[in-house]
Amino acid sequence: MKEHVFDRYLRPEKLKTMWCPGCGNGIVLQAIIRALDESGADPDKVVVVSGVGCSSRAVNYLNTCGLHTNHGRPIAYATGVKMANPALTVVVITGDGDCTSIGGNHFIHGCRRNIDLTVVVVNNDNYGMTGGQYSPTTPLDAMTKTSVYGSYEPPFDVCELAAGAGATYVARGLTYYPVQLKNVILNGIRHKGFSVIDAMSDCTSLYGRLNRLGDAPTMMKRWEEKAVPLAKARTLPPEALAGKIVYGEFVRSDARREYTEKYAEVIRRAQEV
């Protein structure tokens, strides 16, 4: 019998996952697994690095090398791993709070350096593990445990942030479209440079419940209304995109030199002196 891709990449003894029923993390994890498999990377040479939060627990289930780090710091740890051995395929799994709040500085500097990491931001609009507080991506006026009168902080757009800071591959995918999500993660892994995938996911038991978005299938179906592919969005006037989430590939550029390659040049230069 042919081995299933999950048999190669999961640690069955660590299952089942700790995630709530209906959570999007499982869909993101399978997209990462399929993307890694299609990339042809040798699992012995894959290091998956994560921070702290529900989605960061994904590394516990993966049969690759795993580095489960401190809150907000996975990109900084991953940078050290990649520089110590540039031959490794390094994937970072992080959440919206982990990446854009406590880890915001590491995130923008990773983008600026353009080091070859693939960063999957599992974006569920709130801090799930601590019980549903607002994060830097919580939509304005949304209900969370720390914004009981509606969130009053304007949210970050993860893709705009990444593009502005210099990431050379920036895309958004949705758990509602798992094949598209897998494809953008795969393109991120194949891209030589800093890749950011904003993976829109649903937190059903906290964000969904607090905002009366219905059960998991109902929450997923709302993406049919809410999500607009980039090609279509480009044809629409700005007012038609109010409250919508645009998904697709925003940046895919080879214009900037990847960091480990640039550093190899520094070594050559130093050794010539």
Partner 1 sequence: MQGDRILTGNEACTLGALAAGMNFFAGYPITPATEIAELSSELLPKRGGTYMQMEDELASIAAVIGASTAGAKAMTATSGPGFSLMQENLSYGMIAEIPCVLIDVMRQGPCQGVATVPAQGDFMQSRWGTHGDHPVIVLVPNSVSEAYTETIRAFNLSEAYRTPVIVLSDATLAHMSEKVRIPDVSELTIVNRKKPTCDPKDYLPFSNENHQIAPMASFGDGYRWFVSGIVHDDTGFPVTNRPEAIRDSLDHLLGKLRDHLADIESYEEYRAEDAEILILSAGLVSRSAKSAIDRARARGVRVGLFRPVTLWPFPEARFSALCARAKTVMTVEMNGGQLAEVAAKYVDRDQTLRPVTQNDGTIIRAETIFDAILEVC
Q: Which residues bind partner 1 (CB under 8 A)?
A: 14, 43-45, 47, 49, 59-60, 63-70, 73, 76-81, 83-85, 87-88, 105-106, 109, 263, 266-267, 269-271, 273
Residue number with CB closer to partner 1 (143 or 196): 196
Q: Which two tokens stand for residue 206?
A: 């906290």
> Cβ of residue 10: shortest distance to partner 1, in angstroms?
12
> Cβ of residue 88: shortest distance to partner 1, in angstroms?
5
> Cβ of residue 238: shortest distance to partner 1, in angstroms?
34
**Is 87 within 8 Å of 163 (Cβ atoms)?**
no
What would the DSSP string read from start to end of 34-52? HHHHHHT--GGGEEEEE-S
Q: Which two tokens stand for residue 148?
A: 């009981």
Cβ neighbourhood burial of 201 (10 Å; 0-12, 13-18, 19+):
buried
Residue number with CB closer to partner 1 (120 or 174): 120
Residue number with CB closer to partner 1 (156 or 250): 156
**Is 195 within 8 Å of 119 (Cβ atoms)?**
yes
Residue number with CB closer to partner 1 (3 or 44): 44
Residue number with CB closer to partner 1 (79 or 151): 79
Give the count of beta carbons closer than 10 Å to the beta carbon of residue 164. 12
Rounded to an integer, what distance in angstroms lies between the CA atom of residue 155 and that of residue 138? 6
> Cβ of residue 84: shortest distance to partner 1, in angstroms?
4
> Cβ of residue 39: shortest distance to partner 1, in angstroms?
16
Which DSSP category does 267 fall into?
A: H
Residue number with CB closer to partner 1 (69 or 137): 69
Longest dimension (CA), the chain: 66
Residue number with CB closer to partner 1 (92 or 219): 92
> Cβ of residue 263: shortest distance to partner 1, in angstroms?
7
> Cβ of residue 71: shortest distance to partner 1, in angstroms?
9
Cβ neighbourhood burial of 41 (10 Å; 0-12, 13-18, 19+):
middle
SS3 245: strand
Q: Which residues, other chains included, contact 6 with Cβ-Cβ below 8 Å and sequence gap of 6+?
A: 30, 33
Rounded to an integer, what distance in angstroms lies between the CA atom of residue 51 and that of residue 123? 14
Residues in the chain, overall count: 273
